[in-house]
Structures are given as C-alpha cells and as structure tokens.
C-alpha cells in the first residue's frame, strides 16, 4: 500500500527567513513562515479573509537558496510534506510543532500581468 503526504502552499513570506547550521556544522536549516488567506462568509453574510501562517523548513542546499533569495513579502509556491515533532522544555512542559518540510520552492514575481518563476528543489539524500 502506498501513502501520500503532500502539501502545496501559495503565499507570501510573513518575515525574513532564519537560517542556521546543524550542531555538527554540516547542514543548513532555513525556517520561514508563509501566510495564506482563507475567505469565508461570516454569520452576518459578510465576506471575511483570515490569514493563516504556515511554518516551513528547508534543508541543505534548498535551505541555502531560500535564505539567499527570499525576504519578507516574497511570493512563493512551496511543495513539501507535513511533519510533526515535539520537545520538552526546561519546565518539563511538552510542546508540539506542525510544519511543512519543503521539497521544492518556486519563487514568483508578478510584473504587469506576467509571472516570473524560479524553482529550487531539495537535494537527493
């Protein structure tokens, strides 16, 4: 049996990416947040937009490329998989984190009815 875990998000970066190396200095990890809007009709029949923010993680070369080329407000299409992790803090409280591990990031620019695209993909492991 095959399984599928695939996420695609189209939105703008909510802040500049944060990049660091793993503890052994081997791999780059770049984290950023992508904002999307959900439109809905409220109980009064008025249309509303609600922003949703998605945590994105890009590893290795893809992380390097994202850190170099993305800034707050950049329009991106992120393709990846949903991941979950948890950790225990110093006060012994457990924290749960949901994020998207990016496999591909497409940088988009819209200029006078034209779309420019640049794509970056994760290295083969």
pLDDT tens column, 1-42:
889 999 999 999 999 999 999 888 788 999 999 999 999 999
pLDDT of residue 63: 94
pLDDT of residue 124: 54
What are the sequence ranges of the domains in the chain? 7-38+49-121
What pTM value is reported for the model? 0.82
Cα four-point dihedral sign 122, 106, 81, 73: positive
pLDDT of residue 1: 86
Task: Report how far apart the first and last C-alpha atoms of the chain are (Å, whole number).
Answer: 23
pLDDT, tens only, 102-125:
999 999 988 777 777 677 777 655
Q: Is CATH 2.40.50.140 the right assignment for the domain spanning 7-38+49-121? A: yes
- From CA 100, how far away is CA 80, in angstroms rounded? 6
The 3-state DSSP class for residue 82 equals strand
């Amino acid at each position: 049996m095959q399984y599928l875990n695939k996420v695609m998000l189209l939105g703008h970066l909510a802040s500049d990416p944060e990049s660091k190396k793993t503890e052994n200095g081997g791999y780059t990890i770049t984290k950023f947040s992508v904002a999307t809007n959900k439109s809905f009709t409220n109980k009064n029949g008025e249309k509303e937009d609600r922003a949703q923010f998605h945590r994105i993680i890009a590893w290795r070369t893809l992380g390097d490329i994202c850190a170099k080329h993305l800034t707050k407000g950049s329009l991106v299409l992120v393709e990846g998989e949903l991941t979950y992790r948890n950790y225990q803090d110093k006060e012994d409280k457990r924290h749960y984190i949901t994020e998207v591990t990016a496999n591909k990031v497409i940088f988009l620019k819209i200029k006078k009815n034209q779309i420019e695209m640049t794509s970056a993909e994760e290295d083969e492991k």
